[in-house]
Amino acid sequence: MSGPLAGPLAGPLAGLRILEVGHILAGPYATMLLADLGAQVTKVEPPGGDLSRQVSDAYFASLNRGKRSVRVDLATPAGQDRLHTLVGEADALLVNLKPSAVHRLGLTYEALRPWNERLVCVVLTGWGMAEGDAPAFDYVVQAATGIAALTGDPDGPPLLPGYSSADNSAGLAAALGLLAQVVSGRGGQLEVSLRDVMLSQLNYHAAAWLNDGTAPRRLGGAHAHYVPAQLFPTAEGHLALFITHDTFWRAFAAEAGIEGYPTMAERAARREEVVAAVTKALAADTATGWETRLRSLRVPAAAVRTLPEALAAAPDAVVEAGGRRLVAGPFRVPGFAPSFGPPPDLGEHGDFV
């Protein structure tokens, strides 16, 4: 049906049935994004529920809106029977547990194939299924993969970003991998690890080392190749400036009253001089003042804002789900308006303990 009387579009993943077995962040974030796009996601929770329920209601809601919940003790024969019934009706299973638990609870494609040959099984671990059960929380993986060593001031200690970048990135990768296998039309096993995802995201740093022997340096948040591309103090507040190519530099330099350094190669070779010149020039105005001036010239720049300030500036990114205000998913599909249902109560859609 088309035309002015047509109803709202169904989500692009409407009809896709996904089971989730996991805790806290990476796995639940992956399946929440899929639920936002219309998939039916059922959390298969242990007797005590997803551990994130113990953090806070808001925390749990931020990762589990729009899902169903069944409570199943997978360690029991009755729980395994219920799992097999659920698997027989599902298109995909995403598991976010340590490898030994994945095998012990029969959550692999090999174990579940008798109940659904077309099932897509995605396992999300810290280090990979063959690497054992060493703890692999977000910050641990950031430290182990070189992220922390790259973050912070050159003369200071390594630092971690203020949010769970490894978990969130791994969740996105797991959701993509799950959809890729579904699109193939074949059931099967897919692995995603936090370690592999974060190493993959160090792409150009890793390539410089592997091919040219150039080890990455801690530059206080500055970009390794582009200059100037970092945070700068201003008369009030800090400004993120990201000058990549020469056209941006010419526009910025004219506005800031800086002469010289016309090419990307020269700016990179004379990094300290350029940074000093830019720092001096930016002291003449506030961060928001520079943002306004530079954006009118289409030069990439933004004043550093707090999260409350950023949310206030982007009201369309805030949605309501079950009486709670949450950040919307990152996908915008013309004609489709996600419903953002509430997070489920434990066992709300079936209690088999």
Which positions ≥6 away from 270 have C-beta within 8 Å?
261
Residue 166: pLDDT above 90?
Answer: yes
Catalytic residue chosen out of the listed positions 167, 196, 345, 351: 167
Please count the other Cβ atoms lying within 10 Å of the Cβ belonging to residue 103: 15
Helices 165-184, 194-201: inter-axial angle, 10-degree rounding? 100
167 classed as catalytic:
yes
In the structure, how many helices (H) and strands (E) does the chain have?
15, 11
Report the pLDDT value the prediction gives residue 2, as an integer from 0 to 100. 43
Please give the backbone phi and psi of residue 111, each rounded to the nearest 5 degrees, phi first.
-75, -30
Count Cβ atoms below 10 Å from residue 212 Cβ, excluding itself: 8
Q: Is the pLDDT of residue 302 over 90?
A: yes
Over residues 292-316, mean pLDDT: 96
Question: Quick check: 3 pLDDT over 90?
Answer: no
Per-residue pLDDT at 344: 97
Per residue in 331-352, pLDDT (tens digit) is 999 999 888 999 999 999 999 8
Q: Which fold has domain 17-201?
A: Rossmann fold (3.40.50)
% of the chain at pLDDT higher than 70 = 98
Look at residue 186 in the predicted model and tell me its pLDDT: 96
Domain spans of the chain? 17-201, 229-233+238-303
Q: What is the pLDDT of residues 316-333, one digit of tens each?
A: 999 999 999 999 999 999
pLDDT in tens, 63-118: 999 999 999 999 999 999 999 999 999 999 999 999 999 999 999 999 999 999 99
Tell me: the pLDDT tens digits for 21-59? 999 999 999 999 999 999 999 999 999 999 999 999 999
User: What local confidence, expressed as pLDDT, does residue 9 receive?
Assistant: 84
Q: Are 42 and 321 in contact (CB under 8 A)?
A: no
Whether 233 shows a pLDDT value over 70: the answer reads yes
Reply yes or no on whether the pLDDT at 7 is more than 80. no
Q: Which two tokens stand for residue 278?
A: 């830019």
